[in-house]
Amino acid sequence: MSRKLLLIVDMQNDFMPTGALPVPDSDKLITPIVSLSKKYEHVAATLDAHQPDHMSFSAQGGKWPPHCVYNTRGYQLVDGLKVNSQFLKGLFETEGYSIAENAQFMLFAQLFDQIDVVGVALDFCVKACATEIKKAFPGKRVKIIFNLCKAVGKIDRLEFTKEMEQNGVEVE
């Protein structure tokens, strides 16, 4: 029997429509992700986590407004999600879109044969997490559940699927 992990990427208050860096319609993912998560033995979440002066913030010359500052309300997971484990990303002085920078997560990921990925933002962190996990674990099945992701920009599903498949990531 294969061990499957549901990885919920960055479903945090600052990425909701009223947050500091809103992802359009991200709030519409909460209920279906909660429903899906009940089918998994283990559910983990990534948390985008930054210091107040992070290099990705516009005040430091980066491209983003301040968001997901560690231990603020915007950093917290949205209400209603129940997860077994949480893993931080983005704390380092790099543009940390992927959870692969977190050594604890990478050790944890070894316990699973399949990792299903949902959340926000499809065109940044979801994509980076899935491709970097697959790169680190070529024998592991990594799948993005497209309908349970939202993007910052417009995504052509066919083009996105092709790109992901070239990286060994399935798109459902």
For the stretch 104-162, pLDDT in tens is 999 999 999 999 999 999 999 999 999 999 999 999 999 999 999 999 999 999 999 99
Domains in the chain: boundaries: 4-171
Residue 24 CA to residue 121 CA, distance in Å, equals 9
Residue 150 CA to residue 29 CA, distance in Å, equals 8
Choices 3.40.50.720, 3.20.10.10, 3.40.50.850, 3.20.20.80: CATH for 4-171 = 3.40.50.850
For the stretch 19-55, pLDDT in tens is 999 999 999 999 999 999 999 999 999 999 998 988 8
Cis peptide before 151 (omega within 30 of 0): no
Which pLDDT belongs to residue 33?
99
Q: For residue 10, is pLDDT > 70? A: yes
> Helical H runs in the chain?
30-37, 103-109, 127-136, 157-166
Count of residues in the chain: 172
User: Helices 157-166 and 127-136, interaxial angle, to 10°?
Assistant: 20
